[in-house]
Amino acid sequence: MRTYWALGLGLTIMIAGAANAQMPTLTPDQENTLTREIGDRIATQSVDCIRLSPRLQLTVVSDDLLIYRIGGKRYLSRTAGTCHGLARGDKPILSLGKSRICAGDWIAVEDLVSGIRTGGCAIGRFAVYAKPGKDD
């Protein structure tokens, strides 16, 4: 399971470019994952692309909410469409050979046991979350 961000006492999901889209409902476990990942970070901007790095780590909050981590920053993305299988632990597959991941890039989802593709979706814009006063 992966994560999103909390603000105050209630959990609020802010995703760049998704102001008119209906926000997904998260389970309590998904909310906990989101809160743990975002912590006290604040949304600073939204970007179309993030760089690929050996330090890049992916946390799946739900089938349509993803958090990429590079150092102390978190990059929150809501997918265009639902990547069925991600929340249950299926493997996301990004096309390699690029130096960046960008909004609109395709993620294929594959069952770890059978190797069968279970879904796919496009990555959305990235909302950047950073700790106050930090720019790593």
Domain boundaries, the chain: 28-82+123-130
Query: What does the block give as tokens for 36?
Result: 């743990």
| Rounded CA separation 64/81 (Å) | 7
Digit-by-digit pLDDT tens for the chain (136 residues) are 433 333 332 333 343 344 334 556 899 999 999 999 999 999 999 999 999 888 889 999 999 999 999 989 999 999 998 899 999 999 999 877 788 999 999 999 999 999 999 999 999 999 999 998 866 5
Cα 27 to Cα 1, 34, 46, 73, 82: the distances in Å are 11, 11, 25, 24, 16
User: For the whole model, what pTM was predicted?
Assistant: 0.78
pLDDT reported for residue 128: 97
